[in-house]
Amino acid sequence: MSKLFKNIFTFLLAVGNAYAQLPRPLVNYPLGLSPVFDQGFFSGTASPPYTVQQWAPGKAPQACVNELAWNNCISGRAVVYNITYNDCNKPWVMCRCENADLSINQMANFFGRMPVHLRSVVRHVMATHQDGCSAYAITGPDDGDIVMQGNCNTQSVWLHETGHQLDARGLGTGVGFSTSQIFTDALWNDTCVADDYGNTAPWEEFAQMTVVSQSHAIYGYIQQQQYPGCFDYQLAALENAFKLSYLTYGGTCTTRIPPTPPVNAVWKRGVSRRGVKRVGPCKFDHLVTTHTHKH
Ligand SMILES: *[C@@H]1O[C@H](CO)[C@@H](O)[C@H](O)[C@H]1NC(C)=O
Ligand SMILES: *[C@@H]1O[C@H](CO)[C@@H](O)[C@H](O)[C@H]1NC(C)=O
Ligand SMILES: [Zn+2]
């Protein structure tokens, strides 16, 4: 046995059946999803109009204080906003560290380009400073936040992170769809995964397929496939479960998760994190910025 094969084999034995289906031999998008889909998201979607109300300094939602502190944001540098889109009367409370790479209008715009029922699986949206871009989702049953670390100015990254929340919350049972029998069977039926990142875990593949299915919802076909149809079982599984309830434009925001309560926005250095479930940091190659939002 080659060393690589032996390692993979040992890995498969160690993690058991649910994960034994990755890595798959083929990837449909060798350069990742951004070069294929981001231009289409930019031209094919628009955020509804929204208002921005900045909170007075000194308070921030509990979940924001926790994550910003952990992200090396200096105490007192949290900037908090209510973003109210005209398709939902309750605001999303978004938090930035003062030195975050994304502006509040970039955050509101990228988030707003998703259908309102898909936005509704997210509680707080946060942004911090970092070189490059990585992102993660906090998916515990009492959570629901997405965190953009660095200049994550492509729609595919926003859809990917929201996809992790959809995975965790979409069925309303607290059980991740990506590790359900339906999705793992579909993955097994298929001959490819979306891209190399999707090949790292079923939940990363699910998140990448959320990106693909959003493009499918907008354009009605799947662009630039290396192996046409090779991930159709997964796509069908995801869309059967979630297309009408989350992925089409229109819908309502009746299933929102309430924001966490405001607390004093001061913290000690080296704060430890609560023991909740985080997915990521997700890393993305070849991000293609299609535009800048001017405000
Ligand atoms: C933000 O929204 C919350 C919930 O709707 C509201 O209670 C609060 O007064 C708003 N704050 C600002 C600054 O608009
Ligand atoms: C897997 O493929 C079989 C045979 O085509 C099909 O009947 C079944 O529905 C597929 N399962 C999933 C979950 O896609
Ligand atoms: Zn991810």
Among 59, 64, 82, 256, residue to substitute to test ligand 1 (most atoms within 8 Å of Cβ): 82
Query: Which residue's alpha carbon is at the smallest distance from atom 1 of ligand 1?
Result: 82
Q: What does the chain come to in residues?
A: 295
Query: Which residue's alpha carbon is at the smallest distance from atom 13 of ligand 2?
Result: 186
pLDDT of residue 291: 57
- Least distant ligand from the CA of 91: 1
Task: Report the percentage of the chain scoring pLDDT > 70.
Answer: 89
Among 179, 189, 240, residue to substitute to test ligand 2 (most atoms within 8 Å of Cβ): 189
Ligand 1 centroid – CA 53 distance (Å): 8
pLDDT at 145 over 50: yes
**Is the CB–ligand 2 distance for residue 241 below 6 Å?**
no
Query: Which residue's alpha carbon is at the smallest distance from atom 5 of ligand 2?
Result: 189
In this structure, the strands spanning 26-27 and 192-193 are: parallel
In this structure, the strands spanning 262-264 and 50-54 are: unpaired
For 28, the token pair is 């449909």
Query: Which residue's alpha carbon is at the smallest distance from atom 3 of ligand 2?
Result: 189
Q: How far apart are CA 114 and CA 198, in angstroms?
A: 21
Distances (CA, A) of 14 to 19, 24, 185: 10, 17, 20
Question: 50 pLDDT band (50/70/90 cuts)?
Answer: very high
Q: How far apart are CA 264 and CA 261, in angstroms?
A: 10
**Is the CB–ligand 2 distance for residue 233 below 6 Å?**
yes
Q: Please, what is the average pLDDT of the chain? A: 90
pLDDT of residue 270: 63
Q: How many Cβ atoms from other residues are within 10 Å of residue 219's Cβ?
A: 13
Dihedral through CA 246, CA 248, CA 250, CA 251, nearest 10?
Answer: -30
**Is the CB–ligand 1 distance for residue 55 below 6 Å?**
yes
- Least distant ligand from the CA of 209: 3
pLDDT of residue 7: 47
Tell me the per-residue pLDDT of 242-277, one tens digit each, with 9 for 90 and over. 999 999 998 999 999 999 999 999 998 766 666 678
Tell me the per-residue pLDDT of 188-247, one tens digit each, with 9 for 90 and over. 999 999 999 999 999 999 999 999 999 999 999 999 999 999 999 999 999 999 999 999
Q: How far apart are CA 288 and CA 153, in angstroms?
A: 9
pLDDT at 117 over 90: yes
**Is the CB–ligand 2 distance for residue 189 below 6 Å?**
yes
pLDDT of residue 288: 87
Mean pLDDT of 119-134: 97
pLDDT of residue 173: 80
Q: How many Cβ atoms from other residues are within 10 Å of residue 28's Cβ?
A: 24
Mean pLDDT of 161-172: 94
Q: Which residue has better confidence, 144 or 19?
A: 144
pLDDT at 293 over 60: no
Task: Report the percentage of the chain scoring pLDDT > 90.
Answer: 80
The one-letter code for the residue type at 57 is P
pLDDT of residue 227: 98
**Is the CB–ligand 2 distance for residue 187 below 6 Å?**
no
pLDDT at 57 over 80: yes
pLDDT at 36 over 70: yes
Beta bridge partners of 278: 138
Tell me the per-residue pLDDT of 76-110, one tens digit each, with 9 for 90 and over. 999 999 999 999 999 999 999 999 999 999 999 99
Query: Which residue's alpha carbon is at the smallest distance from atom 14 of ligand 2?
Result: 186
**Is the CB–ligand 2 distance for residue 26 below 6 Å?**
no
Ligand 3 centroid – CA 202 distance (Å): 10
Mean pLDDT of 9-19: 46
pLDDT of residue 286: 85
Where do the DSSP E strands lie in 139-188? Answer: 145-150
Lowest model confidence (mean pLDDT) among 15-29, 104-118, 194-208 = 15-29
Ligand 2 atom with the smallest distance to the CA of 234 is 14
Q: How far apart are CA 147 and CA 91, in angstroms?
A: 18
Tell me the per-residue pLDDT of 180-192, one tens digit each, with 9 for 90 and over. 999 999 999 999 9
pLDDT of residue 115: 98
